[in-house]
Structure 1
């Protein structure tokens, strides 16, 4: 690696930072990491696996490298991510009310990433761990993140999606989204928007579980509870911002 102003003088650390930076835009195969960083293939692989050991990197269901949960944990511990830290008690309350898994998703590159979750204490689980990277083309969380976007980005997002513009119009009208077997066979979910101080949608708050429990119209059963939880998180974030804390 060339010695530039970006170099810390500690080569292995600089190369690891390059790998993490390459993953900021979303999942990457080893070949894509090599192309993005310019590192030799064995070096890129060795660094990615070492970062995986420390949970700074993990892998998605396709085996691609993605940013790991440890990064979110460190950000929350440092008080840098109020969205995540503020969401945790609300997700736990929603989980306890619905008896289903509760998650918070944020848009990252061309994907959505689970940044916080609360799993049922007992029984069957629809586990989506923190750090999991999911498609923006399917699922109620994807519908929420896309529904209020600018027209150009919305239309691009609909290309190849499992839902339509009509679906997103319905989402905007009723304030929640639902999916049944859309992202994964046998799984249903309901999501609602979390908004920032400017009213922009910054995250999707969701519950998910087996279709046999949630039914074919999960929004009728869980929509009001998910919307109420998302609104509580929105109001709490607004109160923090307005108070200047």
Structure 2
């Protein structure tokens, strides 16, 4: 039993190392050690195993590592059927052309949201939205949407999470969720990062189930609250159309 526990722990640590690369394409041993919260000797040993299997590789003429080609092989076999990030891309591009701002698609994963698709604004000054970015569920327009339209159990887990920020008022957050449900969309201005604003609405499938949050984001000096309120009907209509495209 003890050997089994050690084996599972080694797997978890190896996965933690791979997850460090969600925030950077190349990392040193020291950076990986800090990101994974593991001793350098442990990281070095696990990196050697991951490198041997092709999951990581050394960057030539540097002391850095990057993800290996084996992950590309695995991703090539991801099922595209029913993938909202692919199915909804043309509609996202259409919305970007209509509004001129960056369009993103988020899904809930545990107590976080993940950007699974993005269409960048054509403006010279814009918010670059990297696909795969992971953000907490307690802040931001899309987070409010994903929590407000989810099952009540998610709200309970989020509010009880030890990671809930000390200075964030839970009562005010719950009030925002209620307002989001009533309005059908949520806005945020510089909540998650300075100078950024976003408006988001839920995408519900034909069965009325929450699939994702559709968001429009941009610089706060261009995407003002008044501008977001004007855009909200078009965004909600786009989300409605998208929902009819999903099973």
TM norm structure 2: 0.70
Check the 8 A contact 1:19/1:33 in 2, yes or no: no
2:101 equivalent to 1:100 = yes
Match of 2:181 in 1: 172
Match of 1:61 in 2: none
Matching residue within 149, 171, 181 for 2:190: 181
Deviation at 1:138, TM superposition (A): 0.8
Match of 1:140 in 2: 141
Deviation at 1:178, TM superposition (A): 0.5
2:205 equivalent to 1:196 = yes
TM norm structure 1: 0.71
Equivalences for residues 55-70 of structure 1 within 5 A: none
Match of 1:42 in 2: 44
Change (3 A) 1:54 1:156: same
Match of 1:67 in 2: none
Check the 8 A contact 2:140/2:191 in 1, yes or no: yes
Check the 8 A contact 1:178/1:188 in 2, yes or no: yes
Match of 1:85 in 2: 86
Check the 8 A contact 1:112/1:134 in 2, yes or no: yes
Deviation at 1:81, TM superposition (A): 4.5
Check the 8 A contact 1:145/1:193 in 2, yes or no: yes
Matching residue within 193, 212, 215 for 2:221: 212
Check the 8 A contact 2:85/2:116 in 1, yes or no: yes
Q: Deviations over 1:131-158 (max 9, x none)?
A: 1111211110100100022334213424
Deviation at 1:55, TM superposition (A): 8.2
Match of 1:62 in 2: none
Deviation at 1:214, TM superposition (A): 0.9
Check the 8 A contact 1:177/1:219 in 2, yes or no: no
Equivalent residue pairs, number: 211
In 1: Cα distance, 2:69 partner to 2:232 partner = 34
In 1: Cα distance, 2:74 partner to 2:198 partner = 24
Check the 8 A contact 1:105/1:115 in 2, yes or no: yes
In 2: Cα distance, 1:123 partner to 1:189 partner = 18
Match of 2:61 in 1: none
Deviation at 1:223, TM superposition (A): 0.8
Change (3 A) 1:174 1:190: same
Aligned residue for 1:212, secondary structure, equals coil
2:138 equivalent to 1:129 = no
In 2: Cα distance, 1:200 partner to 1:117 partner = 22
2:15 equivalent to 1:19 = yes
Task: Structure 2: state its 5+ residue gaps.
Answer: 24-31, 58-64
Larger Rg over CA atoms: 2
Deviation at 1:198, TM superposition (A): 3.4
Change (3 A) 1:186 1:71: farther
Match of 1:111 in 2: 112
Task: Structure 1: state its 5+ residue gaps.
Answer: 8-13, 58-69
Change (3 A) 1:214 1:198: same
Aligned residue for 1:205, secondary structure, equals strand
